[in-house]
């Protein structure tokens, strides 16, 4: 489904991704595990096309020079230079770290805003899917988003991405700042998205302990490079992973 070949990203002379290669098969939950500044968000921006958009804007205003090398293949087609709206239409949807919501609008209005460019029937299906997968939100659909808890706001952000009916859902740091209780709830919801909605998911996460056991495959990233990879349960038992990410 998705294949990344030798991806390199430079911000001026700073190397953010270094010869990065990976694959995601349809129907999988795969992960990118790494600490702050490892290159996780840069990768997600590259996969979603947001980096292409940033690059174009910087060139227009004579700002920071961004260089993208390598290839991103989706269903066998090179999409390295494809802009975000075209990727969304093809089913690649990003839920960014601390994804913005509309705090003055209620939950239902947020979901409708997220689907404003989606055809009516698909928008309705996406909205029903989101509320079914996140029953906590269904119970508060008339509540202003700004009054939701941090975990509920994260669920809303993911639901807004689901309204776009993704084939490949990119989640950037979905567990960031959540309590262990809410982390468990969100991990369960991500599992339901994969199994019930048949959505392929790629998660970039620093707090890997709650979700790593459920990953079909994961890549450990340091300084923009893959340093280790394997099935999620196997990585859970790796001494280096335990020491670096679990404090064991």
Pick the closest to residue 7 from 37, 53, 45, 35 (CA basis): 45
**What is the rounded (10 degree) CA torsion for 224, 230, 235, 239?**
-70
| Predicted local confidence at residue 150, as pLDDT | 85
| Predicted local confidence at residue 25, as pLDDT | 95
**110-165 tens-digit pLDDT:** 988 887 777 666 777 888 888 888 888 888 889 998 898 888 899 899 999 988 88
pTM of the complete model: 0.92
Q: Which of 22-26, 35-39, 84-88, 128-132 has the highest mean pLDDT?
A: 22-26
**162-205 tens-digit pLDDT:** 888 899 999 999 998 888 888 998 899 999 999 988 999 999 99
**191-247 tens-digit pLDDT:** 999 998 899 999 999 888 899 999 999 999 999 999 989 998 888 888 877 776 665
| Predicted local confidence at residue 120, as pLDDT | 66
| Predicted local confidence at residue 246, as pLDDT | 66
Instruction: Kindly give, in sequence order, each residue whose CB lies less than 8 Å from that of residue 138, ignoring residues fewer than 6 positions away.
Output: 131, 132
| Predicted local confidence at residue 83, as pLDDT | 93
DSSP states along 168-234: EEEEESTTTT--HHHHHHHHHHHHHHHHHS--EEEEEES--TTTGGG-SEEEEEETTEEEEEE-HHH
Mean pLDDT for 60-82 is 93
Per-residue pLDDT at 43 exceeds 90: yes
What whole-number distance in Å separates Cα of residue 107 and Cα of residue 142? 6
What whole-number distance in Å separates Cα of residue 156 and Cα of residue 150? 10
Per-residue pLDDT at 248 exceeds 70: no
Q: What is the DSSP letter of 197?
A: S
Domain ranges of the chain: 1-91+168-175+202-248
| For helices 180-196 and 150-163, angle between their N-to-C axes, nearest 10 degrees | 20
Tell me, which fold does domain 1-91+168-175+202-248 have in CATH?
Rossmann fold (3.40.50)
């Amino acid at each position: 489904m998705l294949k990344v070949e030798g991806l390199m990203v430079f911000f001026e002379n700073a190397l953010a991704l270094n010869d990065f290669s990976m694959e995601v098969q349809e129907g999988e939950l795969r992960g990118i595990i790494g600490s702050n500044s490892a290159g996780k968000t840069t990768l997600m921006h590259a996969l979603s096309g947001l980096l292409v958009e940033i690059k174009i804007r910087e060139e227009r205003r004579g700002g920071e020079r961004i260089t993208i090398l390598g290839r991103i293949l989706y269903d066998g087609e090179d999409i390295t230079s494809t802009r975000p709206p075209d990727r969304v239409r093809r089913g690649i949807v990003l839920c960014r770290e601390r994804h913005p919501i509309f705090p003055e609008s209620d939950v239902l209005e947020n979901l409708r805003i997220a689907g404003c460019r989606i055809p009516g029937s698909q928008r309705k299906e996406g909205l029903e899917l989101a509320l079914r997968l996140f029953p906590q939100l269904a119970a508060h659909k008339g509540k202003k988003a700004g009054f939701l808890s941090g975990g509920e706001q994260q669920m809303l952000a993911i639901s807004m991405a689901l309204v776009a009916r993704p084939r490949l859902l990119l989640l950037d740091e979905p567990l960031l700042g959540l309590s262990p209780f809410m982390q468990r709830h969100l991990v369960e919801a991500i599992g339901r998205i994969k199994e019930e909605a048949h959505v392929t998911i790629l998660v970039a996460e620093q707090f890997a302990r709650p979700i790593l056991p459920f990953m079909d495959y994961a890549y450990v990233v340091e300084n923009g490079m893959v340093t280790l990879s394997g099935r999620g349960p196997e990585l859970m038992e790796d001494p280096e992973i335990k020491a670096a990410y679990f404090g064991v």
